[in-house]
Structure 1
């Protein structure tokens, strides 16, 4: 039986590796060597093995008997499916937020939208993304549904790299901010259906937007 210390260490390693994989420090198909990871984190192979097992449950890695553990990044078809689910989750959050948000929660969304606007002039998509992430999380919180929030946060994190990457498409940050403004108005006015429709369109990457994202990723050796 593992001690609480071993479990805590494995949890920390899994969290650190998850971020590294999401940031694409490890490319698709790369084998994660237990000895190298043990040296990287200064631990024995036991918590590393446990951490890799946890990551396998998330789909970020695949474990193959007698071969090892390999990073698994989504392909275009799976990526589109994930964005479709993300769009529906955010639509649900927006609908509930418009109906349930109190004054302080609406103000939090408003402040996050203002921060997004303040990040635009710098022309740094990564800086904008950080504020954009806060805007969406404020809407999640305002939904008042903890189960839904948990699902949305997990998929938002899984799509972190790709959501950030699409903001590098020409003109996308400005478009995103304009979409935020309309979403905010719908939530402020209590129009749940309008908020859901706008958030669904805001998050979805279908058609030309998805094609542009895939092309951009290919140029970065996806």
Structure 2
């Protein structure tokens, strides 16, 4: 069961991505605590998580504010994420144990179920487990930690991508190819598959920006 602070983080994270909380907006701790019916302690824990992922900026004796991430910075962060994933995948294909293979297959089946339900949020959570298993399977603790940290920072945008029409199905098909490459020990193929899976360029970036703009407009008119 998720901690209250994790649930609060996800709620605030969603508002940031959809534009309900715009870049530069102040986060009123008292108002949010009252709205969510929560005490200050879990809310502050959520703020710390959001700050560590770069989504908000904590300021001493002042309200936290929503960080500003421009399109160019977003592209650059996804470029680095793609390389982290590629490195993790290459090592995982060489180092994962049979037990880790079984866990990856189970996570892949959970993604399949979420895909069949066409539930973007459920797929996002199952997708998070899938990628985390690959990071751990690299058996390089430092690399896995860096990949996980950047994943958290990009999580709202990766989550938003799944709302683009057809992306869940495409994502699952890409996962399927990754799983096969890992099970067969094809490190270079795994790396390239994950690099393409995560890289956000061209039409995929245009789709993400269009979806983000649409959601921001909907939030503004609500």
Q: 2:117 aligns with which of 122, 144, 157?
A: 122
Aligned to 2:155: 160
Aligned to 2:190: 195
Q: Which has the higher contact order (CA 8 A, sep 6+)?
A: 2
C-alpha RMSD of matched pairs (Å) = 2.9
Segments of structure 2 that go 5 or more residues without pairing to the other structure are 218-222
Task: Answer with 54-63 or 113-122: which moved more.
Answer: 54-63
Aligned to 1:139: 134
CA 1:63–1:199: 2 relative to 1, 3 Å: same
Contact 2:54 2:153 in 1 (8 A): no
1:111 matches 2:110:
no
Aligned to 2:220: none
Contact 2:9 2:49 in 1 (8 A): no
1:213 matches 2:208:
yes
In the TM superposition, what are the counterparts of 1:65-104 in structure 2 within 5 Å?
A: 68-104=63-99
For 1:210 and 1:158, the matched residues in 2 are separated by 17
Aligned to 1:4: none
Aligned to 2:146: 151
Aligned to 1:24: 15
Aligned residues: 208
Task: Answer with 71-80 or 29-38: which moved more.
Answer: 29-38
For 1:167 and 1:54, the matched residues in 2 are separated by 22
Shift, 1:27, TM fit: 3.2
Contact 2:114 2:123 in 1 (8 A): yes
Segments of structure 1 that go 5 or more residues without pairing to the other structure are 1-11
Larger radius of gyration: 1
TM-score of the two chains, using structure 2 as the length reference: 0.80
Secondary structure of the 1:163 match is helix
For 1:212 and 1:32, the matched residues in 2 are separated by 29
For 1:220 and 1:51, the matched residues in 2 are separated by 23
For 1:118 and 1:13, the matched residues in 2 are separated by 26
Secondary structure of the 1:74 match is coil
Shift, 1:32, TM fit: 2.5
Secondary structure of the 2:15 match is coil
CA 1:16–1:72: 2 relative to 1, 3 Å: farther
